[in-house]
Amino acid sequence: MIEVGSLDDFPPRTVTVVPAAGVEVGIVRWDGDDVYALRNVCPHALGPVCAGRLGPKIVAPRGDPMGLDVDESCPVIACAWHGWEFDVRTGQAVWPDGRMRVKTYPARVVRGRVVVALDRTDVDPGPAVEP
Ligand code: FES
């Protein structure tokens, strides 16, 4: 687990890109202590997905296919380059047959600090050192 800052460093409903072991990680704080972490690389064309717009998922209400509503429980980020949208909680693209996903990492708040679990494969091992 890597500590990336105090919960107070991440205002509600914002995304903040932080360096974490050589990887750019977008920390999304949604409501309360809900925090999520995703790699700042879009699966479409490798753009900075976390530089895009963050907001609740737009949905069509049942029985009203012409209407629009929002799902406040589902944060969605739209990539800064071409606007593809991803569910921040899972990284999955929001269109129904979307198989693309942004890489996500487990994140949580521990004693007021935000911590993220990066994969070993994503951690920059630093310069190679001869034995
Ligand atoms: S690079 Fe993200 S939508 Fe194209």
- Residue 123: its pLDDT value, please? 60
Q: Determine if residue 21 is left, alpha or beta; phi over 0 gives left, psi from -120 to 50 gives alpha, anything else beta.
A: left
Ligand 1 centroid distance, CA of 122 (Å): 20
- Residue 108: its pLDDT value, please? 96
* Ligand 1 close to Cβ of residue 84 (< 6 A): yes
Give the start-to-end residue ranges of the domains of the chain. 2-122
Domain 2-122 has CATH 2.102.10.10: yes
- Residue 1: its pLDDT value, please? 87
- Residue 131: its pLDDT value, please? 46
Report how far residue 14's alpha carbon sits from residue 24's, in angstroms, rounded to the nearest whole number: 16
Of all protein residues, the one whose alpha carbon is nearest to atom 3 of ligand 1 is 82
* Ligand 1 close to Cβ of residue 123 (< 6 A): no
pLDDT 10s per residue in the chain (131 long)? 899 999 999 999 999 999 998 899 999 999 999 999 999 999 999 999 999 999 999 987 777 777 888 999 999 999 999 999 999 999 999 986 678 999 999 999 999 999 999 976 666 555 555 54
Q: Which residue is it, tokens 């630093």?
A: 126
